[in-house]
Amino acid sequence: MNDVKDPDRPSPEALLRAAAQEGRGRLKIFLGAAPGVGKTWEMLTQGHRRREADVDVVVGVVESHGRRETEALVHGHEVIPRRDVSHHGHSLGEMDIDAILARHPALVLVDELAHTNAPGSRHPKRYQDVEELLAAGIDVWSTLNIQHVESLNDVVASFTRVRVRETVPDSVLEQAEIEVVDIPPDELIERLRDGKVYIPQEATRALGHFFSKSNLTALRELALRRVAQAVDAQMLDHARAHALAGNFAAGERIVVAVSEQGHAAGLVRAGKRMADALRAPWTAVHIETRRDQLFSDGERRQLADTLALASRLGASTASIPAVDVVDGLSRYAREARATQIVIGKASRSWWFEMRHGSVVDRLVRTLGEVAVHVLPSGTPDKPLRAARARAGWGRPLDYLWSLLAVAGMTGTGLLLEQAINLGNIALLYLVPVMFAAASFGLRAGLFAALSASLAYNFFFLPPVGTFSVSNPENVVSIFVLLGVAIVTSQFAARVRVQADLAASSARQNAALASFSRQLTASTTHKELMQAICAEVARLLDVRSVLLLPSPGGPQLHAAFPPEDRMEQIELAAAQWAIDHEQPAGRGSSTLTASDWLFHPLRTSRGVLAVLGIARGDAGDPLRSDNVPLLMSLLDQAAIALDRMALEEANLKAQAIGERDRLRSALLSSVSHDLRTPLTTIVTAAQEMKRAPSAELAETIESEAQRLARFVANLLDMARVEAGALPMKPEAIDLFDAVASAAHDTRAALTDHAIDLDIAPDIPLVRLDPVLLHHCLINLLDNAGRYGDAGTPILVRCRRSHDALRLSVIDQGPGIPPGQEKRVFETFTRLEGSDRARHGTGLGLAIVKGFSEAMGLTVEASNIEEAPEGKRGACFTIRIPETLIVTAIDQKDMT
């Protein structure tokens, strides 16, 4: 169910979106239909104009692809040097975000927004780099081809036969200013033949495939249409944020009014044809009034089918509560800035038109700027009209209670007759009138008004006990009382209708909010499916199951209450719902022998699952008044399943990417850290054949130890990742542990002195001595590797109120800002930074793994207290209070 906002006040959502842009940079995208239309040329040209206007402009990255005109335009701009990233033995140049942030220009030019960054970069995609620059308050201009827009990826692939892998989310375009760079297809083909886009060999191949005239024309149309949609959305957002009146008909927006009648499906199809012809967005809207409470089960099912049809045809759907159809439809049309409305008009009698008026005529008068398309819809079914008319009179008990209320007030008036005058007694009769109208509806209120006027005449106006009136003034009093009572009953009945609609809307919104919270709280696919079944069963008072499509047929994955199997007829109905994307089973038009009703959960990616519902008493699975709620639950469930599937796919892709990164890093590390010592050993061995010497023997021994450490690190890392670390904790003196590690690393730390700053009163700690020894060796080796030659390494231990902090501090370039946690990742050597040195990138990862296995934490930071103002890196192992040996423990050990 949707709530219509007041069009005369600013939209809170639009204001929040506008506020979120405060302090951010602005994004401008030069959008083209295909490569070679001149996007980069236009961006650089306008960049030169901004520089001439004294705007601080820099080039973050420009891909010239060997085009001389583009390279010439780059000259004159300040170009931020690219950052070198090593990948598979090759050096790749990527945009240096940190350098741009440090430079902080007013405007940065970034070519090819959809570009995928090299592995090891901060962000996998260039548009994410741009997001970081925008968040820092830097304006960004970028370029993009229409085939890289995520929502158009399938459309482009359908006629170009080329699937583009690098895409940009539509949300990036929605927040950007877009400028179309466009040239006719013939001119672009001519540029291609002249070698201005690709080299001749590639140009010939491109002309026969992607760059055909039909493809370029279709891509050009897509680009222009997408820009028109973006501009229209931004215009509407601005109008809503500033409460501007009018429909701003720069683009067509169609609203189709649907009802419970069978002809509504024809209105939906007509709206679809109109939307396709105008290439306009469209919405199917049902206005909920109190009349909806009188719908039969068949009418409710017809309404649900009509809204489902509109959704399948690509429309948005909405159900709007309102006092009457004209009020709700006009308010929604103003809020949606609709330019055209499609509505049906049934053939009514002149008497009906005179009593109720014409919805179409009132709508035309209310919405003067909106084109109203009226389609004939025949005559409403007479039996249904008769049944609804009978139901509209209410229950006999309602009239009995109204009559009793009038009788009660008559008794009260008789008791007070001597104390108050006749005019005040007449006012008392308004109380039962308002009670009847508010409790039982307008017709019961009118009955109470008539009864009150008759009772007032019979019991209080002379001659008492008759319906005759002796005083002409009393005749006026009777008619005044009757008129006031009728008006009062109408107002009371209208308040009741509004209250009922508000209560119904509140109940449904509360149910949807609760359903959404439960789905959001689910962290796994299994939890999500079980939450869907449990919430649907609770909200609709049914049994529910969820089945997923599979090559062998639908598979049961969740149920509430638990189900272990489904009958063959149920599986057949579920499969039919999957294949045809329509409901099947009991209560539908297909396979009604099944006890279950199956609804497909659809998204743009197809049917993700089917939800089945059934009642324990073998009755109809769904009450007619719950159909709108079920439709909303199905939409939310489909979106949640789609989100979870995308998240799991993203996690798998990240895992594959991390695996590839580790494999690449391992190969790089092995090739370097094995080749170097092996070369040294082979050379030294060859020299020893000619002239044996102790120095060469020491070289062989040193490099062999280096190889042994490398293999040990690989084995240690494998043990960490496998969780196979045997623990034998015992009381350890930290001074002795550090001294032992320093002794074992003396050969690798010949250029560094080790200063120990460990107080004698530092208590013993209960740790595994072997694992702690490995941690200290790797920290000292890391400090020697990255510390400047000739500088000392400080090992310091301090006690705080809840822990011991053991720190290893070098005097080197320090750690790049923001990389303090990344240094502990496997095979990480911070490429492109001053800390890049030869090594495996395993040492600090082993320190972290071993420390956490012992219950410790390790952190990295920079210090500014090194001698002569030099920076340094500080790695600290935090030993919690629970692992410190107390004096009582030492006494017990003694």
Question: 624 in a domain, yes or no?
Answer: no
Which of the pair, 514 or 548, is modelled with greater confidence? 548
Residue 859 confidence class, pLDDT cut points 50, 70, 90 = very high
Amino acid (one-letter) located at 234? Q
Model pLDDT, residue 306:
84
Supply angle C-alpha 129, 133, 135, rounded to 5. Answer: 115
Are both 186 and 80 inside the same structural domain?
A: yes
Assess whether pLDDT exceeds 80 at residue 687: no
Q: Which residue has the tokens 């236009």?
A: 42
Tokens at residue 860, please?
């990295």
The mean pLDDT value for 663-692 works out to 67
Decide which of 476, 499, 522 is a domain's last residue.
499
Assess whether pLDDT exceeds 80 at residue 676: no
Q: Tell me, what CATH number does 84's domain have? A: 3.40.50.300
Model pLDDT, residue 710:
66
The mean pLDDT value for 626-644 works out to 82
The predicted-structure confidence for 753-791, as pLDDT tens digits, reads as follows 999 998 888 899 999 888 898 889 889 988 888 888 888
Decide which of 362, 391, 420 is a domain's last residue.
391
Assess whether pLDDT exceeds 90 at residue 875: yes
Assess whether pLDDT exceeds 90 at residue 495: no
The predicted-structure confidence for 701-725, as pLDDT tens digits, reads as follows 777 776 776 676 666 656 655 665 6
Q: Check if the beta carbon of residue 601 is closer than 8 Å to that of residue 641.
A: yes
Q: How far is CA 773 from the centre of its chain?
A: 47
- Which positions ≥6 away from 579 have C-beta within 8 Å? none
Question: 633 in a domain, yes or no?
Answer: no
Question: 521 in a domain, yes or no?
Answer: no
The model's pTM is 0.46
Q: Tell me, what CATH number does 776's domain have? A: 3.30.565.10
With CA atoms as reference, report the closest residue to 259 among 360, 366, 368, 349.
360
Model pLDDT, residue 665:
54
The predicted-structure confidence for 787-826, as pLDDT tens digits, reads as follows 888 889 999 999 888 899 999 999 888 888 878 888 887 6
With CA atoms as reference, report the closest residue to 452 among 438, 434, 432, 466.
432
Rounded CA gap, 536 and 516, in Å? 11
Are both 346 and 407 inside the same structural domain?
A: no
The mean pLDDT value for 274-297 works out to 80
Model pLDDT, residue 835:
43
Rounded CA gap, 318 and 306, in Å? 12
Supply angle C-alpha 807, 808, 814, rounded to 5. Answer: 110
Question: 321 in a domain, yes or no?
Answer: yes
Model pLDDT, residue 384:
45
Assess whether pLDDT exceeds 60 at residue 396: yes
Rounded CA gap, 433 and 405, in Å? 8
Are both 29 and 154 inside the same structural domain?
A: yes
Rg for the chain, CA atoms, rounded:
39
Question: 164 in a domain, yes or no?
Answer: yes
Share of the chain above pLDDT 90, in %: 11
| Beta-carbon count within 10 A of 27 CB | 22
Model pLDDT, residue 780:
92
Decide which of 474, 499, 524 is a domain's last residue.
499
| Residue 581 β-bridge partners | none
Q: Check if the beta carbon of residue 497 is closer than 8 Å to that of residue 323.
A: yes
Rounded CA gap, 195 and 286, in Å? 57
Q: Tell me, what CATH number does 278's domain have? A: 3.40.50.620
Are both 290 and 366 inside the same structural domain?
A: yes
| Residue 765 β-bridge partners | 732, 884
Amino acid (one-letter) located at 670? V
Assess whether pLDDT exceeds 80 at residue 296: no
Tokens at residue 39, please?
């996007």
Question: 429 in a domain, yes or no?
Answer: yes
Assess whether pLDDT exceeds 70 at residue 132: yes
Rounded CA gap, 402 and 381, in Å? 32
Residue 130 confidence class, pLDDT cut points 50, 70, 90 = very high
Establish whether the linkage from the previous residue to 463 is cis, with ω within 30° of 0: yes
Q: Which residue has the tokens 């949609």?
A: 229
Sort 894 into a burial class: Cβ within 10 Å, 0-12 / 13-18 / 19+: exposed
Assess whether pLDDT exceeds 60 at residue 830: no
Are both 804 and 825 inside the same structural domain?
A: yes
Which of the pair, 183 or 547, is modelled with greater confidence? 547
Are both 34 and 122 inside the same structural domain?
A: yes
Average pLDDT, the chain: 78
Tokens at residue 370, please?
């909106």
Assess whether pLDDT exceeds 80 at residue 543: yes
Which of the pair, 241 or 879, is modelled with greater confidence? 879
The mean pLDDT value for 678-694 works out to 76
Are both 264 and 366 inside the same structural domain?
A: yes
Are both 351 and 287 inside the same structural domain?
A: yes
Are both 217 and 269 inside the same structural domain?
A: no
Q: Which domain holds residue 315?
A: 254-391
Question: 34 in a domain, yes or no?
Answer: yes
With CA atoms as reference, report the closest residue to 859 among 801, 819, 831, 830.
819
Question: 419 in a domain, yes or no?
Answer: yes
Are both 815 and 747 inside the same structural domain?
A: yes
Q: Check if the beta carbon of residue 97 is closer than 8 Å to that of residue 130.
A: no
| Residue 107 β-bridge partners | 57, 139
Assess whether pLDDT exceeds 50 at residue 388: no
Mean pLDDT check: name the lowest of 227-241, 291-305, 530-544, 581-595. 227-241
Q: Check if the beta carbon of residue 39 is closer than 8 Å to that of residue 30.
A: yes
Model pLDDT, residue 1:
47
The predicted-structure confidence for 19-40, as pLDDT tens digits, reads as follows 556 678 999 999 888 888 888 8
Which of the pair, 661 or 212, is modelled with greater confidence? 212
Which of the pair, 145 or 321, is modelled with greater confidence? 145
The predicted-structure confidence for 570-587, as pLDDT tens digits, reads as follows 899 899 988 888 888 887
Model pLDDT, residue 493:
64
Q: Check if the beta carbon of residue 370 is closer than 8 Å to that of residue 338.
A: yes
Are both 326 and 438 inside the same structural domain?
A: no
Q: Which long-range contacts (CB under 8 A, 24 or more apart) does 830-835 make?
A: 831/84, 831/85, 831/86, 831/120, 832/83, 832/84, 832/85, 835/786, 835/873
The predicted-structure confidence for 546-573, as pLDDT tens digits, reads as follows 999 988 888 898 988 887 678 888 899 8
Mean pLDDT check: name the lowest of 1-15, 228-242, 252-266, 279-293. 1-15
Rounded CA gap, 49 and 47, in Å? 5
Tokens at residue 725, please?
């670390």
Model pLDDT, residue 880:
92
Rounded CA gap, 579 and 808, in Å? 64
Look at the chain and report how many structural domains it folds into.
4
| Residue 287 β-bridge partners | 320
Rounded CA gap, 782 and 745, in Å? 11
Are both 192 and 277 inside the same structural domain?
A: no
